[in-house]
Amino acid sequence: MPVTNVTPDLDQLTLTIDAEFAAPVERIWQVYADPRQLEKVWGPPGYPATVVDHDFTAGGRVTYFMTGPEGEKFAGYWDITGVDEPNGFTFDDGFADADFNPNPDLPVSKNGFTFTAGGAGTKARYVSTYASAEALQQVLDMGVVEGSTAAINQIDDLVA
């Protein structure tokens, strides 16, 4: 069970996820530094991600789109704000149009990922911050479909 702790902060609209991976820090770093690996883990089931640009440096931009079950495309970008290889990086995560122009009407979340040696190999901490409850809802309504369905699907198991 790789997720060790989940801390939602309802006032700050921050979600902090702690996880442990049975691999060294450099290996976990590689998942993000290699676009072909990143696209294997980023999109939810049924929404595979394709990473297009991958300028993984401070000030650089990563662009990607997720393809839905009916072929619909959800484009997004990361503006990398800080990189500390292999210990972590920070970025702003936003939505974009089909040409990867950032969509200013949709919310941008601030994210910080840190990787430290420990536990089973690497302790990872993922912190995502949203500007408002509306922003959070918009994000969930967008490509993050798995979020709400997976939560409701747990009820299926409960009542089965």
- β pairing state of 88-96 and 3-9: unpaired
Q: Which is nearer to other proteins, 98 or 159 (CB)?
A: 159
Min separation Cβ 62 and other proteins, Å: 15
List interacting residues with other proteins (CB under 8 A). 2-3, 6, 8, 10, 13, 15, 17, 19, 21-23, 27-28, 31, 37, 40-42, 44-45, 124, 126, 128, 133, 136-137, 139-141, 144, 146-152, 154-156, 158-159
User: How far is residue 58 CA from its own chain's centroid?
Assistant: 17
Q: Which is nearer to other proteins, 98 or 160 (CB)?
A: 160
Q: Which is nearer to other proteins, 40 or 73 (CB)?
A: 40
Min separation Cβ 112 and other proteins, Å: 13
The CA-to-CA distance between both ends of the chain, in Å, stands at 23
Q: Position of tokens 């369905």?
A: 149
Q: Which is nearer to other proteins, 6 or 59 (CB)?
A: 6
Min separation Cβ 9 and other proteins, Å: 8
Min separation Cβ 58 and other proteins, Å: 23
DSSP-assigned letters across all residues of 42-95: HSPTT--EEEEEE--STT-EEEEEEE-TTS-EEEEEEEEEEEETTTEEEEEEEE
Q: Which is nearer to other proteins, 6 or 101 (CB)?
A: 6
Nearest CA to 56 out of 31, 20, 73 is that of 31
Helix 35-42, helix 25-33: angle, nearest 10: 90
What does the alpha-carbon distance between residue 22 and residue 122 come to, in Å, rounded to a whole number? Answer: 7
Min separation Cβ 71 and other proteins, Å: 18
